[in-house]
Amino acid sequence: MKTSFTKWTALIVLLLVITGAGAWLLMRSLGTSSAPAQAETGGRKILYYKSTMVLGEISQTPRKDSMGMDMVPVYEGEEDSAAIKIDPVTVQNMGVRTAPVTQGPVHRTIRTVGKIEFDETAVSEVTTRVPGWIEKLYVDSTGKLVHKDEPLFEFYSPDLYLTEREYLLALVQGDAAAAPVLNKLYHLGLSPGQIENLRKTRQVPHTLRIDSPRDGVVVEKNALQGTMTEPGKTLYRIGDIGKVWVLADIYEQDLPFLQVGQEAVVKLSYMPDRSFRGKVTYIYPTVEEKTRTARGRMEFPNPGFFLKPGMFATVEIHALLVSEAVLVPDMAVLRSGEKNTVFVALEGGKFEPREITLGARSGEGNYQVLSGLKPGETVVTSAQFLLDSESQLRQAIQKMLRPQAASGEHAAYTPQAASNEHTAHKETAPPQTAYVCPMPEHVSILYGAPGKCPICRMTLVETTVTPSPSPTPSSTPDAGHAQGNH
């Protein structure tokens, strides 16, 4: 009985030893396969293997990628570089295209629709200052072209006739006696030439001829032969079309680029082969609430009278924003929130992601670069999203493989720690550079780039602005409640 118990005990011990050895071998195998590749080649440590054909495909062990190509090792130190290296064949398959960073002026073209109108400063109305009857019409239709001092109509007024006779009787007594009546004739609308003719002939005409006060076109006609007219009634309205206005609606986002004196070009639909050049003369100070547009006024010479009031025309306003700037193609910029990134093509098939600061957009499809690029560099204009995916994947791998603290332990991540880190980042936000006008009345306006004040044309002065961090729920737990009570 004792011998049998001893055999069973030895058998159990042997099974336990075998089980423990198998478990140890299994754990060792799992630990080795789950850890990243740490082999050393020529003194350099291999971190992982990546495919040269398929972006984003990596492995912890050497093997072939999904395209059947051998994966290449990534050594320690190479992953710290921001630039990514891609095989030339892959670059060709991806359709990567590049363009140079240039330097030149930044133009902006504002396109809109305008309406041709009469020049309001060149429109005259013809009225009488005394009641009377229209005896004869010389201009009997609207749209007729008239010249200055050309007769429009003749009318008879008893009051004017009696005043003219009174003037002739006063002349017999001398100029001093006739002076009050002479002033009355001026006030009744007689011209100096008509008064001088009355003085010489000493004869009172039956009717008074009314002449055109300017060259132009008869826009409105209310005079009818044989009818009675009252003082102040508009009989003719004459507008000069040798120079016309074009009133155009400008959207709010284009208003900063609109200035008085800029060149403007209009084209007519019935004359597509011609363009007319003028300039911006006034920007109205109000914005239409429904359309969110402000009105701009342009003046155009009108030889041949091709620009007819009432017509609609296509308007183009050319603005020079910056005379010399660094320019990058719009297609090269990757936008992510407030961050703008481009990929700079380097030698050896490398591409470096670089954050840039953009300025104004040019009408030629380029952006002004305030910082981050210099003329002569080459940027990627297509397949940037694939390069960006590769760059972000590399950054993720670097974060996983980057050593932690000196103790080798991972720092615990808690929502409170994240909140504290976010708050600390907000509190230590660096000051931002801005530009202000030195005039005290204009100092409240901040500009993002140097230049001239658009109001007084003084040179802007550089200053710094510290952004105020917004309170977070973790740092001010009662903020929302306090705002609600307030």
d(CA 315, CA 56): 50
Q: Rg for the chain (alpha carbons), in Å? A: 43
pLDDT tens, residue by residue, 61-110: 888 887 787 888 877 665 545 567 776 777 777 778 888 999 988 888 89
List the CATH code of the domain at 120-239. Answer: 2.40.50.100
In this prediction, residue 481 carries a pLDDT of 39
User: What are the residue ranges spanned by the domains of the chain?
Assistant: 1-34, 35-96, 100-106+324-401, 120-239, 429-471
Distance CA 320, CA 336 (A): 28
**40-41/58-59 β-pairing:** unpaired
Domain at 100-106+324-401, CATH from 2.40.420.20, 1.10.645.10, 1.10.287.1770, 3.40.50.10790: 2.40.420.20
> Which strands form 216-221's sheet, in the order they lie side by side?
123-126, 236-239, 216-221, 145-146
Starting at the edge strand that comes first in sequence, how are the strands of the sheet with 228-229 ordered?
208-211, 151-156, 132-137, 228-229
- Tens of pLDDT along the chain (486 residues)? 445 545 555 555 555 555 555 544 444 443 433 444 445 555 677 877 777 666 557 777 888 887 787 888 877 665 545 567 776 777 777 778 888 999 988 888 899 999 999 999 999 999 999 999 999 999 999 999 999 999 999 999 999 999 999 999 998 888 888 899 999 998 888 888 889 999 899 999 999 999 999 999 999 999 999 999 999 999 999 999 999 999 999 999 889 889 999 999 999 988 888 899 999 999 999 999 999 999 999 999 998 899 999 999 999 998 888 888 899 998 888 887 778 888 888 887 788 888 888 888 887 788 889 988 889 898 888 876 666 666 665 556 555 555 443 344 444 444 444 444 444 444 455 677 888 888 878 877 888 878 888 888 888 888 877 665 544 444 444 434 334 443
pLDDT at 296: 95
pTM over 0.75, yes/no: no
Identify the pLDDT of residue 6: 56
